[in-house]
Amino acid sequence: MAPLPGAELVRTPVQLYRYLLRCCKLLPSPAMQTHYRHTVRQSYNSHADEDDPERIRMIVQRAISDADWILNKYIKKTGSPGQDETGQNNSDRR
């Protein structure tokens, strides 16, 4: 299962980047969100010169499965996406 609907539509590096940034918003704490946003940005920059379509497809698949694993890990700890350990909704903290 993909972390967000539409994962199967991700084909290009830019689509993947945007998708992963949306996934970061589901993480329970602002510190985690910042950490993973930075990680996504660094990975995008390090693979920016990739031009092999097969390699890009593999990177997209791996990144989506990694995002799924990370979100499942934190959702199991907190109970639901977008909430921290106290049950408060993170979308209210902006």
pTM: 0.76
Contact in structure between 82 and 90 (CB atoms under 8 Å): yes
Q: Is residue 45 part of a domain?
A: yes
Number of domains in the chain: 1
- Tokens coding 38: 């930075």
| Residue 26 within a domain | yes
Structural domain contains residue 2: no
Q: What is the pLDDT along the chain (94 residues), one digit of tens a residue?
A: 566 888 889 999 999 999 999 999 999 999 999 999 999 999 999 998 999 999 999 999 999 999 999 999 988 777 655 544 444 445 444 3
Cα 25 to Cα 1: distance, rounded to the nearest angstrom: 18
Q: Under a CB-based contact definition with an 8 Å cutoff, are residues 78 and 28 in contact? A: yes
Q: Is residue 83 part of a domain?
A: no
Residue 3 within a domain: no
With vertex at residue 90, the alpha carbon angle to CA 85 and CA 27, rounded to the nearest 5 degrees, is 70
| Domain annotation covers residue 4 | no
| Structural contact between residues 5 and 32, judged by C-beta atoms closer than 8 angstroms | no
Residue 24 lies in a domain: yes
Domain limits for position 17: 13-77
